[in-house]
Amino acid sequence: MALKSLNDLEKYIVLTEEEKDWKEDGGHTLPILISDHLTPLITNPAIRRQFVPSVKENKDTVGNLDPQMEKEYSVTPRLVKRYRNRAAFLVTDSCFAYCRHCFRRRFAGSMVGPATKKEIEEACSFLSDHNEIKEVLLTGGDMFTLSDTSLDYLLCSFKEARPDIIYRLCTRALTSNPDRFTQSLFEVIKKNSIGAPYYLMTQFNHPSEITEKAKSVIKEFVRLGIPIMNQTVLLRGVNDSVEVETELSNTLLSLRVKPYYLFQGDLVQGTAHLRVPLSKGIEIEKGMRESLSGLGLPQYTIDLPQGGGKVPVESRYNKGLIDGVWTFSTLDGEERHYPEDD
């Protein structure tokens, strides 16, 4: 059964004091939601840490709820355009399970619901008028929480508006609810992918998330000819070692999934206890480079605060560490700062 409260959790695991003391603080913390698929897996420490809340979320005052400044970059109520050539459409705020490290805490689980037809039409109209946009991320929330009918309408609308655009289907459902990928859902995806290039963007953070059901879903996307790219978030106590990251990359490659990004944790309020010090992340990336081929090596990347955009951590954009603070240059030459978490 899906777990939605601390009382539900106590039926499956013995909560620590830090877990028991967590309080849902409307607008500042995510609610609890752990899917049926994940429920039997929460005894695994790597799964537990990602989905079971801690009182540390309540005490964290570092960062804010919108570090990427998506509100400021919204060109329609659901379409975020932070880069010249790509945009993100927030399909829904709902997920099958809420990750405690979620960078979109200001939106996820907020009960605003799926995008309306009007909001979809507004976004499609904007895309039709802006040919400089070459990629759109269909994200949220998780787009696959929508019904087959609603997904069909969504995908068809975007395809008709701009069939030349690359569409990234962003989802965590292969970890949280692989049963969602029914034959009827694949028929919807197959029908709408004809003439429109789709990429499936997954988030596997630990090898234990790649269950047999997840592997079956991956194989079906491969059979449909849809490339799969994985985006891992570097998380303290979950995957912050060369050994775990190497195993994850090798497992993904064996399934024809390209390890794409290894993300440094965003400065999102409530997530400090899950962030890995940047200096440790650099050492992990170095170790991965020594043990993986180029095909298996994800790009260690940071999404800079205050809407600074993505840059590789080990690059000319990194100006170094001084007095416990990293300084980065954005693509536009502005300066951004990121603390060296302990």
- pTM over 0.75? The answer is yes
| Marked catalytic residue, from 60, 78, 93, 102 | 102
Q: CA 59, CA 54: separation in Å to the nearest integer?
A: 10
| 104 catalytically annotated | yes
94 to 68, 145, 148: CA distances (angstroms) = 20, 7, 15
| Marked catalytic residue, from 93, 142, 152, 303 | 303
Q: Find the Cα–Cα–Cα–Cα dihedral 135, 139, 144, 150, rounded to 10°.
A: -70
| 310 catalytically annotated | yes
| Marked catalytic residue, from 49, 98, 99, 105 | 99
| Marked catalytic residue, from 82, 162, 168, 236 | 82
Q: CA 85, CA 298: separation in Å to the nearest integer?
A: 22
Q: CA 238, CA 245: separation in Å to the nearest integer?
A: 10
| Marked catalytic residue, from 83, 213, 215, 258 | 83
pLDDT per 10-residue tile (average), the chain, 342 residues: 94 96 82 97 97 95 89 96 96 97 91 96 98 97 98 97 96 98 98 90 98 98 97 98 98 98 96 96 98 97 95 97 96 95 68
| 36 catalytically annotated | no
Phi, psi angles (nearest 5°) of residue 335: -105, 135
> Residue 256's closest CA among 289, 301, 218, 200?
218
| Domains in the chain with CATH codes | 1-52 (no CATH), 63-202 (3.20.20.70)
| 170 catalytically annotated | no
What are the b/e assignments for 32-65, b being 16+ CB within 10 Å?
A: bbbbebbbebbeeebbbbbbbbbbbbbebeebee
Q: If you write DSSP's letter for every residue of 163-178 in order, what string do you get?
A: TTSEEEEE--HHHH-G
Can you give the pLDDT at residue 63?
84
| 156 catalytically annotated | no
| Marked catalytic residue, from 60, 240, 266, 341 | 266
> Residue 206's closest CA among 251, 256, 141, 140?
251
Q: How many other C-beta atoms lie within 10 A of the C-beta of residue 195?
A: 8
| 82 catalytically annotated | yes
